[in-house]
Amino acid sequence: MIRMRVRRLIAAASVAALGLVSVAGCGNSSPDVAAYVGDARYSLERVDEVYDDAQARYGAAVREQATQADATPSPEQLRSKVTRQDVVNLLVSLELGRRVAADKGVQVPDEIRPEQLAEQLQMPATAEYTKLWSEWLDVSTALGGALPPAQLSDDAVLAVYRAIEKTGAIQPGLSVAEVRQAFGEGTFVRQASALSAALTSEAERVGTTINPRFRPIGVPSVVSTGQSLVFYSLPYIDEAGPVTDISTPRAPAGGPSAAPAAG
């Protein structure tokens, strides 16, 4: 029941790439800072705090499960797949998303709880990383419902496909036509492009600088396969990529549940 509710809430929150380079001209280049977003500053220490907390809580959970099974986990099994890049992606996207919501007067409900994501995110609900994900999904879902969908190009569809392909959740080597068929009406990609455009525009408006160590920024993304949730991130895409002009086309016949099937 909880899993179904989460899928309904975040099916439209699959977001396209947020291509950020240094767009602020104010000398924001301290090597101990991961990102500047307007007047917000995210230090490397802050990134390490979230990352280290995630690894520690994940390792503790694995040890507890192993003890109950009378097993000894290997060092590799004690390490989560979460990276510092994942943390920066979340922090920057969440900051920009909050700003877009405030500017557009979009109400962001507090609906998705960390406990609802823990199992499929493979991270304890008590980890700050999981809490950031739940907040981001609230913000991105609210924006996804408020922004007009974008027109799509083949590049847009392929960019989302290739990002999901890297997770192993969809069959590799598909053609554009096959991907479009797998995505159905592609509503989640339309909303993804619109959200990406809004975040990129906000990044330029407030002035955003990303430490070269964390370029390109990717927007944390999730889509339902119908059986599970796939968490992924899209890389930087410039104006020639899948971020298309926002328009107000007729509402597509299919809904966000037209997600790619596991391959």
Domains of the chain, residue spans: 9-234
Maximum alpha-carbon separation in the chain: 58
- Cα 167 from Cα 81, distance rounded (Å): 12
pLDDT of res. 216: 84
Is the overall model pTM greater than 0.75, yes or no?
yes
For 23, which DSSP code? -
CA distance from start to end of the chain: 24
In three-state secondary structure terms, 209 is strand
- Cα 160 from Cα 99, distance rounded (Å): 25
In three-state secondary structure terms, 189 is helix
Q: Quick check: 1 pLDDT over 70?
A: no
Q: Which residue has the tokens 């609906």?
A: 111
Mean pLDDT of 98-122: 96
Mean pLDDT of 214-230: 86
pLDDT of res. 181: 93
Per residue in 11-57, pLDDT (tens digit) is: 444 444 444 444 444 456 788 999 999 999 999 999 999 999 999 99
Mean pLDDT of 6-11: 42
Q: Are 240 and 247 in contact (CB under 8 A)?
A: no
Q: Are 29 and 41 in contact (CB under 8 A)?
A: no
Per residue in 44-92, pLDDT (tens digit) is: 999 999 999 999 999 999 999 999 999 999 999 999 999 999 999 999 9
Residue 212, C-beta contacts closer than 8 angstroms, at least 6 positions apart: none
**Sign of the dihedral through C-alpha 30, 31, 35, 41:** negative
Mean pLDDT of 205-228: 88
pLDDT of res. 235: 59
Q: Which residue has the tokens 């709880």?
A: 113
Per residue in 127-182, pLDDT (tens digit) is: 999 999 999 999 999 999 999 888 788 888 888 899 899 889 999 999 999 999 99
pLDDT of res. 252: 35
Q: Quick check: 3 pLDDT over 80?
A: no
Q: Is the peptide bond before 216 cis (omega within 30 degrees of 0)?
A: yes
Q: Which residue has the higher pLDDT, 108 or 4?
A: 108
Q: Which residue has the tokens 């995505």?
A: 183
For 157, list phi and psi in degrees, rounded to 5: -65, -45
Q: Quick check: 225 pLDDT over 90?
A: no
